Each structure stands twice: as C-alpha cells, then as structure tokens.
C-alpha cells in the first residue's frame, strides 16, 4: 500500500529541481539551488538545503536576479517539510514576502479515474470541437473571472503549451457556457502529471463539476502512462481533491521578492 511517506519521497525525488525548470529560458546553479528565469519572472528550486549556509544562499539568489537579469520578481518555493524549520523567517528577513500557503496533494491516477455522470454538464478536452483558440480564450476568460487578472497564462502561451503535447486543457460546459476548467500537465521523465488551474464559476459550485473534471483528467493521465497526479491546492479545492482520492503530503508557501 502506498503511504503518505512514499508519496512525499516520490515528490521530492521526481518533482523538484530539474522537473520544475524544464521550460525556463535560463537556469543557473548556485550550490544546491537552481535559479530559473521564465517569461513571467524568476524561480528558485532545490531538493535539500541541509549542510549549506541558508542565509548566504538567499543573499546569492537576490543578487542574481537583481543584478544579472531583468526580471521584476522571483519566487522562492518552500515546502512544509524543508530544513531549516525557520526558512520562512529567514526569507522574510531578507525582504521576501510570503504568499498564502497551499497543500500539496498526490494520488494514484488510476484510483481517481472514476467516471462522474452529471446530467446537463459536458466535460471535454479543449479543441475537441475544432476551435482550439476559441476554447482557450473562453477557458482563460472564465478562470480570470475567478482568480483575477494576470493570474494565468496568456492565450498564446497556453496554445504553445498545447502544441508541445505536454499539456492538455479540459473544460466543463452548461448550455454551451464554460463553467469549470483546468489543465493536465505531464512532467517529462517522471511518473507524475499535475492538475492545475482548476476553477469553477461560483454559481455552479457544489454540483460535483470540479470533481468530474478531475476524473476526466485522471482518465487521460492513465491513458498516457502517468502513475501519480499532484496539485498545489487552495483551501477551496483541497477538500474536493481529498474526496476524489488525493492525499495531503506537505504544504508549499511561495516567498516572493520584487524589484
């Protein structure tokens, strides 16, 4: 039987370091850190900080993004089981600002691939009707109405992600209107795929639509040979994912530096 410890170990081994920066424009090593530059900003990842001078690493990351790149902001992604226990306090002391913590949820894709029948709701993959751009535009507009402006990818970035084949986008419609949507992102070279960007219009919540979208993405993941699904979940989505079969394995808190 797969335990939470097993899932956390697989997460640390497969989803940290290189797996998080595969699509970066530039990656620089600084001791145990990888400092990545993306179109939207900088990102700091690592597997373990044990045995290193953490304050020196934080200062080095700040110097890198401040003096060697033109990014306006970077994120240092912490996990709740990271060493040292006061890492968040150290980052804050260096001027980084904590964003809301989320729960890392992981589960066996096959166990989540249970059909959910919702009369009147159509769950489908973006582009199945032939209008990929129209679907992407409708999906992103709905997500923006839920999350706020600037919180998701651009239309062109989303289309490029679909074209690469690593990502799938799924949506749920009621009477032809997109009411729920989310993304499946296969992580190359791992047993994992992420389920991201899940959003449901407020007036359509509590009907099982988001759960149906998780199930559809899980079935697709199984078809693609994926073993595990993972997600960084808000307090709103975590209970739904847990009822669907994902388990909480740790927390993650972004600490953000802004120029």
* Domain spans of the chain, in order of start: 4-103, 107-250
pLDDT-based confidence at residue 133 (cuts at 50, 70, 90): very high
Quote the pLDDT of residue 165. 82
**pLDDT tens-digit readout, 188-212:** 999 999 999 888 999 999 999 999 9
Which residue from 79, 93, 94 is spatially nearest to 48, judged by alpha carbons? 79
Give the length of the chain: 259
Residue 26 clears pLDDT 90, i.e. is over it:
yes
Calculate the average pLDDT of the chain. 93
Residue 150 clears pLDDT 70, i.e. is over it:
no
Q: Are 184 and 220 in contact (CB under 8 A)?
A: yes
* Percent of residues, the chain, with pLDDT higher than 70: 98
Residue 68 clears pLDDT 90, i.e. is over it:
no
Beta carbons within 10 angstroms of residue 31's beta carbon? 14
Residue 107 clears pLDDT 90, i.e. is over it:
yes
What is the value of pTM for the model shown?
0.89
Quote the pLDDT of residue 152. 66
User: In whole angstroms, what is the distance from residue 68 CA to residue 44 CA?
Assistant: 15
For domain 107-250, is the CATH number 1.10.10.10?
no
Residue 7 clears pLDDT 90, i.e. is over it:
yes
Residue 37 structure tokens: 């530059």
- Paired strand residues for 78: 253
Cα radius of gyration (the chain):
19
Residue 185 structure tokens: 């992102």
Residue 164 clears pLDDT 90, i.e. is over it:
no
User: In whole angstroms, what is the distance from residue 35 CA to residue 66 CA?
Assistant: 12
Residue 91 clears pLDDT 90, i.e. is over it:
yes
Quote the pLDDT of residue 98. 98
Mean pLDDT of 109-113: 91
pLDDT-based confidence at residue 151 (cuts at 50, 70, 90): low
Q: Are 33 and 63 in contact (CB under 8 A)?
A: no
Mean pLDDT of 95-103: 97
């Amino acid at each position: 039987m797969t335990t939470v410890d097993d899932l956390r170990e697989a997460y640390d081994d497969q989803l940290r370091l290189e797996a998080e920066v595969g699509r970066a424009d530039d990656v620089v090593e600084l001791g145990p850190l990888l400092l990545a530059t993306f179109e939207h900003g900088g990102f700091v990842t690592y597997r373990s900080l044990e045995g290193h001078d953490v304050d020196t690493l934080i200062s080095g990351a700040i110097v890198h993004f401040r003096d060697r790149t033109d990014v306006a902001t970077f994120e240092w992604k912490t996990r709740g089981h990271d060493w040292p226990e006061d890492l968040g306090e150290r980052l804050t002391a260096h001027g980084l600002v904590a964003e809301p913590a989320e729960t890392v949820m992981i589960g066996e894709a096959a166990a989540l691939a249970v059909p959910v029948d919702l009369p009147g709701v159509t769950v489908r993959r973006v582009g199945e009707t032939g209008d990929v751009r129209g679907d992407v535009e409708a999906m992103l507009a709905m997500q923006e109405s839920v999350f706020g402006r600037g919180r998701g990818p651009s239309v062109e970035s989303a289309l490029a992600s679909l074209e690469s084949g690593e990502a799938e986008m799924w949506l749920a419609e009621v009477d032809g209107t997109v009411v729920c949507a989310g993304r499946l992102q296969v992580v190359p070279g791992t047993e994992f795929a992420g389920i991201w960007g899940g959003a449901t219009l407020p007036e359509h919540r509590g009907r099982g639509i988001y759960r149906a979208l998780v199930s559809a993405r899980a079935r697709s993941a199984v078809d693609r040979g994926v073993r595990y699904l993972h997600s960084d979940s808000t307090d709103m989505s975590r209970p739904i994912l847990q009822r669907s079969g994902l388990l909480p394995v740790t927390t993650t808190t972004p600490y953000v530096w802004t120029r």
